[in-house]
Amino acid sequence: MKKTKTNWLYSQIVKEHFLNPKNVLWDEKNYQADGKGMAGNPICGDVMMVCIKVDLKTQKIKDCKWRTYGCGAAIASTSMLSVMVTEKGGMTLKKALNLKPQEIIKRLGGLPVLKFHCSVLGQAALKEAINDYFKKQKRKK
């Protein structure tokens, strides 16, 4: 049988984050999140949960864990999102709320047009987690 080279439809960065995802939430029961958000798309079946821990003084995201049920692009998008919001000491909540799906796609080295929604879902789950954090903070004051 002749061996043929198969083309990977995604960038090497997407492939890396799919095969070796970063910051996956393996133990939800014992993870004490400051904020938790969910987003899903019933058409494609992708569902994402994002959990964050926030530094109270700086209002920066100090930790971001996630769990995604979906395709490779959905997993890679959420993995990259978690890296982006925690790198360099963490992203401020204000900046994280304004994070655009296009920024995630750019860091991934691109996604096929039909997979754009994967980055949108991750960003939506992050916004839900931040809003959950704000709600909890108001209750604590």
Answer yes or no: 71 catalytic.
no
Q: With b meaning 16 or more CB within 10 Å and e meaning fewer, what string describes 34-55?
A: bbbbebbbeebebbbbbbbbbe
Which residue in 22, 9, 26 sits closest to 73, CA to CA?
9
Catalytic hit among 51, 64, 71, 118: 118
Catalytic hit among 44, 51, 64, 71: 44
Answer yes or no: 51 catalytic.
no
* Active-site residue set: 44, 118
